[in-house]
Structure 1
Amino acid sequence: MTNRSEFLKELRRAHKAIASSKLPEAEGILLAMLNLGVERELIFAEICQFYISSKQAEKADYYLKKFLSIKPSNMTYVLNLASGCVSAGMSASAVEMYRYALSLNANQPNCLFNLALQLRKVGELEASAEAYKKAIELKIDGQEEVYNNLALVYLDMNCLELAGNFFERALSVDPNYIPALFNLAGLAEERGDKAHSRKLYRKILSLDSKYYPALSRLVYQSDIERKDDPLVVELEAALLAGIDSPLEREELLFSLGKALDDCAEYDAAFEAYHKANEVGRLRFRAYRKDLQEKYTQDLISTFDQAWADSLPQRGGFAPIFICGMLRSGSTLLEKVLSGHSQVTAGGELDFISRQVRNFGDTYFSKIKSGTADFFETIALAYEEHVTKRFDVRGHFTDKRPDNFLHIGFIKSLFPQAKIVWTKRNLLDNCLSVYFQQLGAGMNYSVDLEWIGHYYRQQELVMEHWRLLFPDSVCCVDYDKFVCSPEDELEKLLKFIGLDWEGACLNFSAREGVVKTASIWQVRKSLYKKSSGRYRNYKRHLQGIQ
């Protein structure tokens, strides 16, 4: 029989090995301790925490399931592991931990709040909303934050009225709660209500003059004609005063670049954008051309002609996927198509990309070897995801740009899907990306040469899909579209299988929600200002090929 002192001795050895960065030694000690026959909850918790901390997600997930299988009763262990999973970005595992903690004691409002946060990240939106509501019923502290978060879930679910109502509920608890004011202003922007959004942004700045995201939003919704415009003066004063948050400094520099571009101060604008990207570069791992090229070649070799020929030709739901390079005109195109009586616009859905993230390193093999039942299950889940959020009439558009990487997956799910590839002049497209503060892994966006490289890789991928699916892929050139919208729209509608409806081009005053960086550009009538924009910055573009 193992005595307590021997157990503690081994545990101290493991902790000492971890502190000395001797991870294989620590792993061996911890795993061997499972044979001691004592304190199994604690040992499993230690092992799980070890794998979480050392970023070994697959092993962490395996032992977390083992931990739950022994029906642990120590709430502290469970909640600590849940918190560790959150810190490591293991949202699905965090959900399991929080749900188990609630099975031990359902009356934990803070646990419900944390569960709701993670459920939203994994796309379980209805469950997230219910968890927030239960936390409110249990009188959680800080209800203004909970109502605000609940509203964000309803925004994700495309329930705009409910979202607005819950933002207002947050403000009924605390009329000066800035996150709810900011999100309500953002909702007003998305709906095209510039006057109301401006009023809210100004209120925020009256409450906190250093809440710089509100200042940035005012700049983006304004057409600035002079570099001594009061908004520009405010921006420059804020930057001179010094900003603790690198992210806020980055955002203000992007806003300054936009303002200076508006008033044709192109060299000064480029300098501001360059400084913004130099700050932004610190958020990302450096973009590696060799890794991107390898991914492109792996994709092309995996999804070859033999694979394409083997796809089943079943019918059923057939969305239109609008994709391609970021900032290539996809928002404009979806807005145009949404004016057709037989088209429902879905915006940038994350369903496909979330599935791909869940596959992890097994993505290519899963798609190549997936059974008909495997794909049908996911396809039905996508259709349910869409029909819960939208009143679908006829055709449905999904315009997430990076879906260009996942056409093999998409055609496995929906063999009849149409792919609309939005394409734009290389230099204009690269500038537009460089002039935008981006996130979510778009590490190529902070360097013009990197953007140019990524653009070319995107071209290779899309030409591959067009070769495999010549009848399913239509390329729409942004520059041709703004010059000859009727001709280009007629070709696109014919490709989709729709009759001509001229109302498609009357989109500038059309009601509806816009949720991308093009939020105000797309509410204007068609204009050619952005086509050939690179000429204003030509001397700065030598690194793009």
Structure 2
Amino acid sequence: MAGAGATIKQVLDAAEQAAKAGDVARAVALYRQILTKAPKHSKAKKALARLEKQGGAANRAMTQADANALVQVLNGGDFARARQVAEEMARAFPNEPFIYNILGYTCGMLGDQKAAIEAYKWAIKLNPNFVEAMSNYGSYLVQIDRAADAVPVLQKAVTKKPDYAEAHHNLGVAYAAVDQLDKAMQHYDLALRHAPRYANALNSRGSLKSTLNDRIGAEADFRAALQIAPNDTGAMVNLGGVLSADGKSSEATEILEKAAALDPRNIETFVQLGIILNESGRNEAALSSFRKVLEINPNHAKTLRLMLGLVPAEERAGVVEHIQRLFEDPATPDLDKVQLGFALGEHYEKQAAYEQSFVCLDQANRLYRAALPPMPQSDDEKFDRITGLFDSDAFAKLKDASDPSDAPVFVLGMMRSGTSLVEQIIATHSAVYGAGELNTATDLARPLYDKGSRATLADARTFTEGYLRDLLRNAGDVRHVVDKMPGNFFNVGLIRTLFPNAKIVNTVRDPRDNCFSIYKNFFDTYAHQYAYDQGELARFANRYKAMMNRWDELFPDAVYHIRYESLVTDQEAESRKLLAYLGLPWEDSVLEFHKTERAVRTASVNQVRQKIYRSSVKSWQNYEPYLQELIDGLDRELWGDAFVD
């Protein structure tokens, strides 16, 4: 084929020259290329008909030996050589779609998008029922960020061959990429129905389940994939992430270390391993893992952010200089600058270079806010919807399905308000297990909120049974389990209705400190979009406080409010009152919470391993000249005495 960008006239000239030179196979291929773009091109049609009548090499049938030879080169991994052989064979056998399918794959692997797409299209043009080429073409479109274009191609493939597992899997991947998760799950299931030992489909389905916070299902799929393909490092990394989120840090570390040994060039393995080691308090081992990432890619922005606080003091200046250079480089991608900006903001704050710190933080926040996709529901809509359900008493009848368990302890509040500190103190008690941040309540609450007054007792029992099952599965025989998901403040009404004996602890912090702490931290999720804009952040904080005030009105004494500033000022007195609220006897060990060996999966991972410090109180004052939009947006009357003056 002529170059992908050639005009029809250029291709026609090349075809005529090939015919004059006696290269009939090339001439036929070029004329066919013209007819793909212009099916009624009379000159090309006549010339092609004349050449086909002549016969010769262009009409010799390709043998199985020819096909095997091409596949053997492809399997050797030399894609440049495989492309060359495929192009030679395409000239010899211009009517063989098999060749163009492989040509498309090799061009794609070599990064030649135009040639890959042209080859796949030609394969399908030659054989409109060639579902393997359709599947490969659709998969390639997803790889080059054209998932929306891939969907119809893959839909056609599964329609033509409903039992083709690979096409179903690729269609699932395409649907996931365009955020149609229900359809993605449907096609992963179909792929596995037709090919139960399809490890790649198990891995993809597990990843989707993990996204949907179905950690049990995700773990099962990843383990099943590894039963089939024991050395699949992608599945190992995914399983390690799920196990870590489930509090199984030791097993997660073991699996990731095995993956690293199998594929020492896989950056994601070392990033994930470093994160888990850091969460487990093994900072030197975490730093070692992050260093291996930088050996492969010295400019890996996420790793530079994660490791900056771990490097020895004598190395830090060099690392900061490197990060600063990347941050200022116009060629650095914006999303990398986001990571680098948050790293620099934290570093310069520690140096008391507050203006320089804010410049980096502000740019990082602005870049990230601009890059985030729109949310399906605004924060205001969520606040209004949930509050409205309880103002109208929509769930009053669900009390008949409430569960008497007093095992759950919900620690909630604004992010960065001290929830991790409070959880760590409580979880240090011998009668308590800290489960970390669970999405379970929010996931199970969603259908209840959707149904509103139409929700049934059966729906309520689905919530209570499902929540307790997830909460308790790793807890052993302790009395209480802490769920430290800050966003459960949205669910206080539902929790109080369905778990009347559960304990609810709300952490309250000066909103100026609280909001600025949010603004200077990177959250690896799209859910907290308000966090990256001062005006949005102030509005969210006001809505949170108004909601908590409303819960106090609707459910008097249901929530125990603990002031962050009081806790860091008099840890023992506040801890004693907290344990008394929980009905737990005093244990001196809670004062040594920072020595507790448990994984911490929050932005506070390093803070909770230190003794209580008070430097974070009124820290916003160091940045006061730059935070006027935030400060002016906070409702002082609403927040009452939460302000620390």
- In which range does the TM-score fall when normalised by the shorter chain? 0.7 to 0.9
Whether 1:258 and 2:346 are equivalent positions in the alignment is: yes
In the alignment, structure 1 residue 229 sits paired with structure 2 residue 229? no
Contact 2:409 2:503 in 1 (8 A): yes
In structure 2, the partner of 1:420 is 505
User: How much has 1:134 moved relative to structure 2?
Assistant: 3.7
Match of 1:469 in 2: 555
Aligned amino acid, residue 209 of structure 1: P
Q: What is the CA–CA distance in structure 2 between the aligned matches of 1:476 and 1:171, rounded to whole Å? A: 43
The residue identity in structure 1 corresponding to 2:173 is S
Maintained 8 Å contact 1:224/1:263: no
SS in 1 for 2:473: helix
Q: 2:363 aligns with which of 275, 286, 296?
A: 275
Instruction: Give the distance between the partners of 2:208 and 2:374, measured in 1 at CA.
Output: 28
- What is the distance in 2 between the residues matched to 1:388 and 1:245? 42
Q: Does residue 489 of structure 1 match 2:569? A: no
Q: Secondary structure at the match of 1:416?
A: coil
Match of 1:296 in 2: 383
Q: CA deviation at 1:242?
A: 4.5
Shift of 1:257: 0.4
Structure 2 distance, partners of 1:306, 1:127, is 35
Larger deviation: 125-134 or 202-211?
Answer: 125-134
Report the 3-state secondary structure (helix = DSSP H, G, I; strand = E; otherwise coil) of the residue aligned with 1:176: coil
1:82 matched to 2:172? The reply is yes
> Shift in Å at residue 85 of structure 1?
2.4
Question: Matched residue of 2:482: which SS?
Answer: strand
CA-CA distance at 1:461 after TM superposition: 0.6
- Alpha-carbon deviations, 1:333-385, whole Å to 9, x = none? 1011111122111110111222345x3xxx53535432233212221122221
User: Is 1:542 the counterpart of 2:631 in the alignment?
Assistant: no
Query: Does the 8 Å contact 1:323/1:403 carry over to 2?
Result: yes
Cα distance, 1:92 vs structure 2: 3.8
Displacement, 1:252? 0.4
Question: Which consecutive unaligned segments of at least 5 residues does structure 2 have?
Answer: 1-128, 130-146, 634-645
Match of 2:423 among 315, 334, 341: 334
* 1:412 CA displacement: 3.6
What is the CA–CA distance in structure 2 between the aligned matches of 1:146 and 1:294, rounded to whole Å? Answer: 38
What is the aligned partner in structure 2 of residue 148 from structure 1? 237
List per-residue Cα deviations over 1:508-532 (Å, max 9, x = no partner): 2221111100111111111100001
CA contact (8 A) 1:508 1:524 kept: yes
TM-score by length of 2: 0.68
Q: Please show how residues 171-320 of structure 1 align to structure 2 within 5 Å.
A: 171-221=260-310, 229-284=317-372, 292-304=379-391, 306=393, 310=397, 311-312=399-400, 314-320=403-409
Distance (whole Å) between structure 1 residues aligned to residue 538 and residue 312 of structure 2: 29
**What residue in structure 1 maps to residue 206 of structure 2?**
116
Render the CA deviation track for 1:416-463: whole Å, top value 9, x for unaligned: 222111111011111101101123321111111211111010001111
Matched, 1:105 2:195: yes
Match of 2:593 in 1: 507
CA contact (8 A) 2:164 2:191 kept: no
Count the aligned residue pairs.
480
Q: Which has the higher contact order (CA 8 A, sep 6+)?
A: 1
CA distance in 2 between partners of 1:212 and 1:76 (Å): 34
Answer whether contact 1:243 1:249 (CA < 8 A) is retained. Answer: no
What percentage of aligned pairs have identical amino acids? 25
Point out the more displaced range, 94-103 or 458-467: 94-103
1:22 corresponds to which residue? none
Equivalent position amino acid for 1:304 in 2: D
Point out the more displaced range, 340-349 or 434-443.
434-443
Task: Tell me the secondary structure at the aligned position of residue 397 of structure 1.
Answer: strand
CA gap of 1:207–1:105, structure 2 versus 1, over 3 A, is: closer
- In the other structure, the counterpart of 1:448 is 534
1:127-142 maps to which residues of 2 (within 5 A)?
127-139=217-229
Distance in 1 between residues matched to 2:179 and 2:337, nearest whole Å: 26
Secondary structure of 1:421's aligned partner: strand
Summarize deviations over 1:136-193 as a string: whole Å, max 9, x none. 44448x7222221222222233222221121022122123322212211111111111
Structure 2 residue 476 is the aligned partner of structure 1 residue 388: no
AA of the residue aligned to 2:385: D
Residue deviations 1:286-334, cap 9 Å, x none?
799x954454333323203845765346512541111111110100110
Rounded Cα–Cα distance in structure 1 between residues aligned with 2:502 and 2:310? 35
Q: Which residue of 2 aligns with 1:431?
A: 516
The alignment status of 1:96 with 2:183, answered yes or no, reads: no
C-alpha distance in 2 between matches for 1:180 and 1:441: 25
User: What letter matches 1:301 in structure 2?
Assistant: G
Query: Is the Cα–Cα contact under 8 Å of residues 116 and 129 in structure 1 kept in the other structure?
Result: yes
2:403–2:498 CA contact under 8 A, matched in 1: no
The secondary structure found in structure 2 opposite 1:459 is helix
Q: What SS is found at the alignment partner of 1:229?
A: helix
Contact 1:433 1:445 in 2 (8 A): yes
Counterpart check, 1:167 vs 2:253:
no
Q: Which moved more, 1:197-206 or 1:245-254?
A: 197-206
Cα 1:232–1:376 shift into 2, 3 Å: same
Aligned in 2, Cα 1:318/1:109: closer, same or farther, shift over 3 Å?
closer
Which of 410, 428, 431 is the aligned partner of 1:321?
410
Change (3 A) 1:364 1:112: closer
State the alpha-carbon separation in 2 of the partners of residues 108 and 334 from structure 1: 41
Deviation readout 1:206-257 (Å, 9 max, x if unpaired): 232112222211223469799x823321211222344543222101011000
Secondary structure, aligned partner of 1:508 = helix
Distance 1:413 1:232 in 2: 50
Alpha carbons of structure 1 residues 223 and 507: separation in structure 2 relative to 1, 3 Å:
farther
Give how far 1:533 is off: 0.3
SS of equivalent to 1:389:
coil
